[in-house]
Every structure is written in structure tokens, then in C-alpha cells.
Amino acid sequence: MAGWLSRLFSRPRLEEPDSDPFEAAGDRPTVEADALDGLLAEIEQAALSIYARHGLPTTPGDYRRGPGEDGWVFLAERLTPDQKFALALEHPREAGWRFAARNDLGAGDSNIPELVQASAALSGCAWLRARRGAAPAETLSAALRLGALWRDMTHAQALLPDTSLTLTAVDKPARARKKAALPSPSSKSDPEP
């Protein structure tokens, strides 16, 4: 039953006579906020599964990769701009050092488009969470772009081969059908007028 239809036919809840129904109403999250949080968590989970499949870290925070290293090393949950600048001075990019936040790790690997999409989805989710009260047109536009990214990621995952499928040989081969013989070109099959 549709949500509004079920609310229409549901029995009303009995309220306590001494309680004020409007007391602390602003403290309760709205249904829309809960739905948005759930959707953002689902999008993040899809993006993080792509990160995990490609060996990237899934824990939020800042990371570094030294010259000649393959993996990213966790630095801190959050670095201040001063700390980031000090690290960049001590470990220059020209020497092969790389620093990035978790959400940006996939964007650096342009050879794998799904990592770039996953990175954009994680950044989009963080942006929407940070701007809950932003202008509606800007927020809606970002949400639509994020939805398109999510659709592309989940569509790409659906196209991946399913490794649980196994093929087995048939015990008894089916009999081959005999083809009907075609008349030879020299025979006359057309009736004469």
C-alpha cells in the first residue's frame, strides 16, 4: 500500500493526555532527512565496495603513499591545513610522495573509470551532508548528479560476471535432428501450366 494511503487508513495513535505534541518537535529528525541519510549511506557503501575491490582503503581519513610504495598508509582521521602543508614541505611531490583524503584516492587513478566515479560519489555524499541547509536549487542539482553517478556505478557492478555460476556437462547428449533433404536444382518441382 502506498505510504500516504496506509497513513490514511491507519488507526490514530492515542497520545498521553499530559504530553504536549509540539514539545521538542524540532529535535526530531524529519522523515525526509532519514530517507536522505539512508540513501547517502547506500551510495557510500556502493562506492566503498568499489574501493575495496581495487585495494583502496575504506576508512575515512587522510593517507600518504611514499615513493615506490604500492599501498596507502593511514595518517590521521583529519589533518589541519597547517599539518598538510608541513607534510608537503617535508615530503615533496617531486620526490614521489602523495597525500590524499580517502574520498579523493580513487580520483587519482584515471585508468580505472569506476574508481573515479566512486571517488566522485564519496565526495558528493560528503558535500550534501555538509550543506543540509544550502540553497535548494544548488542542493538538488548536486543530488541529481550524485544519483546519476550512483546509477552508473551500480549498473557497472551488475554487468560484472557472477562467479557463483557453474556449468556442468549434460549426462546424455541430445540427438541431432536430421535435416530435410532439399530437392536438387535439376529436378522439376514446379507444375507445368
| Gyration radius (Cα) of the chain, Å | 30
Q: What is the pLDDT of residue 85?
A: 83
Instruction: Give, for 192, the enclosing helix (H) or strand (E).
Output: none
Rounded Cα gap, residues 3 and 7, in angstroms: 6
Section 114-123 average pLDDT: 92
- For residue 25, what is the DSSP state? G
- Per-residue model confidence as pLDDT tens digits over 20-72: 555 554 554 555 556 777 888 888 999 999 999 999 999 999 888 889 888 88
Q: Bridge-partner residues for 65, per DSSP?
A: 98
Give residue 17's pLDDT band: very low, low, confident or very high (50, 70, 90).
low
Instruction: Pick the more confident residue, 43 or 160.
Output: 43
Instruction: Pick the more confident residue, 123 or 192.
Output: 123
Rounded Cα gap, residues 74 and 102, in angstroms: 9
Task: Answer whether 0.85 is exceeded by the pTM.
Answer: no
39 grid coordinates: 540513501
Section 166-172 average pLDDT: 68
Nearest to 97 by CA among 89, 123, 54: 89
